[in-house]
């Protein structure tokens, strides 16, 4: 057994702290039950890590998360301009690198070491401060991260997210937002979701910058596969994760009916099979910028 494997295995055992692992794998229902016994507020970082880095650790799904967030954010002209320019937040020129940076950074904000987590949160705050985003835009971005997974599950007809999962997710992103200068408001998931929808309705508009960002994200997600046929399937899947209003605002094509059905089946199967599958930790910090 090489040192790299031993390190990963030891990290996994430390994070799960449960018997029964086999070569780093643990039954999904065991991890899920451990998460259910955690406090979504007091244990929010561990709750978030076990949920996103272990229980639902599929790397393609993890890659879809920043892609959808950036795409929806690009419907807001003032944000799209920042994502399309040559600043450190540029997405258009290298979506793959920008997505990896985002996931790596978020992985550091949920590190078990509080000092590492706080330091990375402050660094992100400085980056976003340099973007000169309006306070309302910053609030929108934090809200968007808080409810994106909830909206994706609902869109594909999957069972509604358990309350403690949603509470931990909202607390994680709003806590990060607070460290970045965004006031932490006590709101329900439904209220946050309504705020996001209202903000897009009132401020969303087509821009060439937004379209450029969305196309770059779509191509990057499709290029996760080497075969053209699979790239087409991936494109359909990504488009299906965006709602019709977002696609129209960004001037993206509509996914085919077949593509929508396939995306729904894949998503439902992935969620439903998770408790039955063997899972292992795949840290977000493994995404290399």
More confident call, 186 vs 74 = 74
What DSSP character marks residue 20?
-
Residue whose pair of structure tokens reads 């998770």 in the numeric block? 274
Per-residue confidence (pLDDT) for residue 86, from 0 to 100: 59
Tell which wins on pLDDT, 198 or 20.
198
Q: What is the pTM of this model?
A: 0.84
- Residue 23: pLDDT band (50, 70, 90) is low
pLDDT of residue 63: 81
Is the pLDDT score of 200 beyond 90?
yes
CB atoms within 10 A of CB 191: 13
In contact, 38 and 281? CB cutoff 8 Å: no
Q: pLDDT category, 87, cuts 50, 70, 90?
A: low
pLDDT for position 157? 67
Q: Let me know: does 34 contact 113? Beta carbons within 8 Å.
A: no
CA distance 22 to 20: 6
Q: Check: CB of residue 146 under 8 Å from CB of residue 176.
A: no
Average pLDDT over residues 32-55: 89
Provide the pLDDT for residue 64.
85
Q: Is 211 a residue whose pLDDT tops 60?
A: yes
Rounded Cα distance, 149 and 134, in Å: 24
- Return d(Cα 240, Cα 253) in angstroms, integer: 10
Q: How high is the pLDDT of residue 97?
A: 85
pLDDT at 252 over 80: yes
Q: What is the mean pLDDT of the chain?
A: 84
The pLDDT tens digits of the residues spanning 47-81 come to 888 988 888 888 778 888 889 999 999 999 999 99
- Worst-scoring range by mean pLDDT, 146-160, 163-177, 245-259? 146-160
Q: Quick one: DSSP state of residue 284?
A: G
Residue with the larger pLDDT of the pair 211 and 93 = 211
Helix (H) or strand (E) holding 128: helix 114-130
Mean pLDDT of 180-187: 88
Residue 10 buriedness (CB in 10 A; 0-12 / 13-18 / 19+): exposed
């Amino acid at each position: 057994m090489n040192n790299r494997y031993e390190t990963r295995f030891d990290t996994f055992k430390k994070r799960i702290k449960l018997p029964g692992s086999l070569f780093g794998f643990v039954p999904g229902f065991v991890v899920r039950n451990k998460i259910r016994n955690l406090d979504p507020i007091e244990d929010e970082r561990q709750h978030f890590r076990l949920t996103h880095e272990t229980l639902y650790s599929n790397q393609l799904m993890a890659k879809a998360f920043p892609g959808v967030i950036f795409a929806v954010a690009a419907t807001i002209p003032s944000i799209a301009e920042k994502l399309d320019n040559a600043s450190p937040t540029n997405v258009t020129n290298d979506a793959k690198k920008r997505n990896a940076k985002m996931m790596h950074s978020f992985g550091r904000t949920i590190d078990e070491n509080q000092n590492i987590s706080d330091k990375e949160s402050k660094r992100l705050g400085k980056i976003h401060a340099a973007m000169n985003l309006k306070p309302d835009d910053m609030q929108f971005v934090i809200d968007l991260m808080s409810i994106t997974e909830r909206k994706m599950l609902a869109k594909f007809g999957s069972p509604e997210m358990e309350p403690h999962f949603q509470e931990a997710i909202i607390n994680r992103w709003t806590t990060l937002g607070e460290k970045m200068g965004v006031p932490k408001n006590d709101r329900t998931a439904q209220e946050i979701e309504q705020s996001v929808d209202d903000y897009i309705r009132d401020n969303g508009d087509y821009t060439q910058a937004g379209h450029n960002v969305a196309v770059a994200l779509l191509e990057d997600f499709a290029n996760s596969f080497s075969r053209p046929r699979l790239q087409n399937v991936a494109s359909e899947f990504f488009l299906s994760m965006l709602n019709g209003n977002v696609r129209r605002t960004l001037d993206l094509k509509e996914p085919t009916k077949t593509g929508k059905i396939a995306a729904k089946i894949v998503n439902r199967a992935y969620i439903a099979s998770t408790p039955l599958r063997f899972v292992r930790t795949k840290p977000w910090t493994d995404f290399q910028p």
